[in-house]
Amino acid sequence: TAVVCPIIDVINDDDFAYLTGSDMTWGGFNWRLNFRWYAVPNREEIRRDYDHSLPLLSPTMAGGLFTINREYFYEIGAYDPGMEVWGGENLEMSFRVWQCGGKVLIHPCSHVGHVFRKQTPYTFPGGTGKVIFHNNKRLVEVWLDKYKDFIYSMMPELKNVDAGDVSERLALRERLKCKDFRWYLQNIYPESSMPVDFHHVGVVMVYSKKGELRFDDLCMEGSKNSVVKLQKCIDGNQKQTWHYNNETKQMKHVYSGQCMTLEQNKDNGKLILNSCDEQYNKNQRWHLENSLLT
């Protein structure tokens, strides 16, 4: 039940120059369901006792380059026949394998060179975006459970895309007795920037149960009497921690004790930290919508 992937080395598509891939990255994904390489977290290093000859347990795979037992491949559902051309199939298979009792590995002793082209050599019916949205819609509807509402808030353009008939894939999931996506985030990919629990979700920002105001891997960060900025999220950083008061509708910055304030001028506005004023400052009142997964 193991799907084993190599380290993917880069072959330049202009001169075939060869660049060895890193053995310290694994597969993940962002809020728009794009596959991404991220640094291997310390917990995985501890699990394999810092022995870099041992395979990594990777949350996702890049796709295209992997080995799998033939019988297991078909038993677990092969590729989704409703997907088209390319895009999304690697995440769909990654979620399916993990949620249905298998595992995805990257073996550091295996290297495969891949020619990364600047553009695809084949056409996508209706355009690249249409095909990838269709494929992503299918994986969201089958595997992400309530988290699909989170994805649709981040990608409203995906909500009305036609996924086609997914009844057979849902029946496959039921037959294989697969775990839910919450289990995947908690046990396989706790490093994901997608929050397992959160208070509210909007089109742009999420107010997580850790008190973060985040967009993917960027968090709202502030300092006393300063402009609020988006910075790389750092777990436990009090400058990125906020407390929302449901009664006053204020967003209080934990580190400074000040409140998020909209400072307006004739042309535009900016977010700053300022002294909290519960009674008079309407520019400190924030309305949060779409409370999910509480």
pLDDT in tens, 105-145: 999 999 999 998 887 777 777 777 788 999 999 999 999 99
| E-state strands within the chain | 2-12, 18-19, 25-29, 35-39, 56-57, 103-116, 198-201, 206-208, 213-215, 218-221, 229-232, 242-245, 250-253, 259-264, 269-274
SS3 151: helix
Mean pLDDT (whole number) for 161-188: 97
* CATH class of this structure's domain 198-284: mainly beta
Q: What is the DSSP letter of 67?
A: B
pLDDT of residue 263: 87
Checking if the pLDDT of 7 tops 50, the result is yes
**Do strands 242-245 and 229-232 pair parallel, antiparallel, or not at all (unpaired)?**
unpaired
Tell me what pLDDT residue 116 has: 86
pTM of the predicted protein model = 0.75
Retrieve residue 228's tokens.
């609020």
Calpha distance 290→197 (Å, rounded): 13
272 or 269, which is more confident: 272
Nearest to 68 by CA among 44, 45, 102: 102
The count of residues in the chain is: 294
* Longest CA span, the chain: 68
pLDDT at residue number 198: 64
Mean pLDDT of the residues in the chain:
90
Mean pLDDT confidence for 261-281:
83
Under the banding of pLDDT at 50, 70 and 90, the label for residue 181 is: very high
Q: Is residue 10's pLDDT more than 80? A: yes
Say what the pLDDT of residue 103 is: 98
Q: Predicted confidence band at 293 (pLDDT cuts at 50, 70, 90)?
A: very low
Q: What is the pLDDT averaged over residues 272-287?
A: 88
Interval 192-249: pLDDT, tens: 877 676 666 655 678 888 899 988 788 999 999 999 998 988 888 999 999 999 899 9
C-alpha closest to that of 110 among 19, 20, 2, 7:
7
pLDDT score at 144: 96
| CB atoms near residue 272 (< 10 Å) | 17
Could you check whether 2-188 and 198-284 share the same CATH topology?
A: no
What class, spelled out in words, does domain 2-188 have in CATH? alpha beta
Measure the CA–CA gap between 85 and 176, rounded to whole angstroms.
Answer: 26
Residue 21 region by backbone torsions, left for phi larger than 0, else alpha for psi between -120 and 50, else beta = beta
- What is the pLDDT at residue 166? 97
Helix (H) or strand (E) holding 181: helix 181-183
- Mean pLDDT calculated for residue range 273-283: 87
Q: Using one digit for the tens of pLDDT, what is the confidence trace for 28-74?
A: 998 889 999 999 999 999 999 999 999 999 999 998 899 999 999 99
State mean pLDDT over 177-198: 89
Task: Give the model's pLDDT for residue 123.
Answer: 76
The domain spans of the chain are 2-188, 198-284
What average pLDDT score do residues 71-93 get?
95
